[in-house]
Structure 1
Amino acid sequence: MEPLKIHCFTSGKLQTNSYVISDLEDTFCIVIDPGENPDEMIEFIGSRKIEYILLTHSHYDHISGLNILKKITDASVIVHSSEAEWLMNPSLNLSSKDHSVIVCEWPDILLNGGETIHCHSFSINAIHTPGHTPGSVCYLINGSYLFTGDTLLAGAAGPSNLPYGNRELLKASIAQRLFCLANDIVIYPGHGGKSSIGFEKSHPVLPHIKHII
């Protein structure tokens, strides 16, 4: 396993995690879920080249910093095909309920799930995990680091009590698409601290649905 540098930036009223990931030499750099108040993250990125901006889903707290980051870096934005429209629709991305309406551009790369994105010596597997939203995606980097968005949090399944959420789909996604992965894979969720597949499998996570919004 080639090590990664993973920097987490937590911001906004929902305390949403955004991640900047690179190899030890900063050969490449990707961002996952640019959330609210991205100034600290942008300052950290500095002159590093951002290859991709990966979105686990298109809720406003995970895309609030997308416009400014895209403008600064011109990185390719990647999202599941079923939520491309959400980026441009404040009612779908739920920003219409907040004071800051968010409208982003059409993304650069659309996923259906099952794709492998190659970035220098690293591979990023896109795992479609519907339930929190129809197009929720978890990203497994180099087979060892799993970025789960709001699908699986530390100690709880993510929320499904939102528009287009589906509790049974969420439970199935976790059980069938995540809990089949190796126990030592580290989980980096969209909210809260990190965990591991093994820990979550050994605790009764599926009955517990986390309420965030």
Structure 2
Amino acid sequence: MRLERLIVGMLETNGYILYDENMLEALIIDPGDEAKTFVEYISRNRLKPIGIILTHYHYDHIGAVLDLRKKYSMPVYIHKKDEEGLKDPCINHSVSSFRKSISIIPDQTLKDGDTIKTSWVTLEIIHTPGHTPGGICIKVKNKNIIFTGDTIFNIDLGRTDLEGGDYHAMKNSIRNKVSKWSDDMMIYPGHGDLASMADVKKKNMEYLDIIKRR
């Protein structure tokens, strides 16, 4: 499995492309903007996109979805609790000054514990509400890789003061899910650089504040 990070849009969102070098099938995670950037990478590597997986519904993570789905005729996945936010252009922005009308009807909704399987990779869905009600992290089975969207970053956590945010839910997600990840697990967040959980447990003050207040 190969992994590519594409940084796109005004908010510098991390979009990810996972693909198999032999079959050239590809899965896209959080194509937040600049569909052309994704298309160029896909074309250059002769990939065959087979699905888009969204960690949550905020606009900076979904801006290129419609163009990519139209071009490649592939399904869009999102957690059931973020389905309405994805459909509603009035609420799927994450910053009030960054609004853009977009409405997407997902092809399939997800829940905690679901898997998305291909012949070359299995992705495990971890429901981590807090930033949004249906926020998810996506674990690559048998690898120390988790895509964390806007749940957790290398040095802080996703905001809970935006549409759909819930600080109590975020605390539970951190305590009951994220804190269980091993030190060698690598997080690939929705913004900023990747990090090991060992580094997160040393440097992420918002994470540590929640953990220490048990």
TM-score > 0.5, shorter chain as reference? yes
Identity %: 34
Does residue 33 (structure 1) correspond to residue 34 (structure 2)? The answer is no
Q: After TM superposition, give the deviation of residue 28 of structure 1 in Å.
A: 2.5
Shift in alpha-carbon separation, 1:202–1:24, aligned structure 2, 3 A: farther
Q: Could you give the per-residue CA deviations for residues 120-165 of structure 1, whole angstroms, max 9, x where no partner exists? A: 1311000000000000010001242100000001111111111220
Does residue 88 (structure 1) correspond to residue 87 (structure 2)? The answer is yes
C-alpha separation between the residues in 2 aligned to 1:51 and 1:39?
17
Does residue 171 (structure 1) correspond to residue 171 (structure 2)? The answer is yes
Does residue 154 (structure 1) correspond to residue 149 (structure 2)? The answer is no
Contact 1:157 1:208 in 2 (8 A): no
Count how many residue pairs are aligned between Structure 1 and Structure 2: 205
C-alpha separation between the residues in 2 aligned to 1:62 and 1:54?
10
- Structure 2: where are the runs of 5+ without partners? none
Equivalent position amino acid for 1:78 in 2 = Y
Which residue does 1:6 correspond to in 2? Answer: 3
SS of 1:154's partner is coil
Which residue does 1:206 correspond to in 2? Answer: 207
C-alpha separation between the residues in 1 aligned to 2:20 and 2:126?
22
Equivalent position amino acid for 1:168 in 2 = H
C-alpha separation between the residues in 1 aligned to 2:9 and 2:24?
30
Which residue does 1:145 correspond to in 2? Answer: 145
TM-score between both structures, scaled by the size of structure 2: 0.89
Q: Decide which moves more: 82-91 or 65-74.
A: 82-91
Shift in alpha-carbon separation, 1:208–1:39, aligned structure 2, 3 A: farther
Q: After TM superposition, give the deviation of residue 17 of structure 1 in Å.
A: 0.8
Determine which structure has the larger helix proportion and give its number. Answer: 2
Contact 2:187 2:196 in 1 (8 A): yes
Which residue does 1:135 correspond to in 2? Answer: 134
Does residue 79 (structure 1) correspond to residue 70 (structure 2)? The answer is no
**Aligned match of 2:16 in 16, 19, 39?**
19
RMSD: 1.9
Q: After TM superposition, give the deviation of residue 92 of structure 1 in Å.
A: 1.8
Shift in alpha-carbon separation, 1:76–1:127, aligned structure 2, 3 A: same
- Structure 1: where are the runs of 5+ without partners? none
Deviating above 6 A after TM superposition, structure 1's stretches of 4 or more consecutive aligned residues are none
Equivalent position amino acid for 2:200 in 1 = E
TM-score between both structures, scaled by the size of structure 1: 0.89
Q: After TM superposition, give the deviation of residue 97 of structure 1 in Å.
A: 5.0
Equivalent position amino acid for 1:163 in 2 = E
Q: Could you give the per-residue CA deviations for residues 163-192 of structure 1, whole angstroms, max 9, x where no partner exists? A: 220112112212211221222111110000
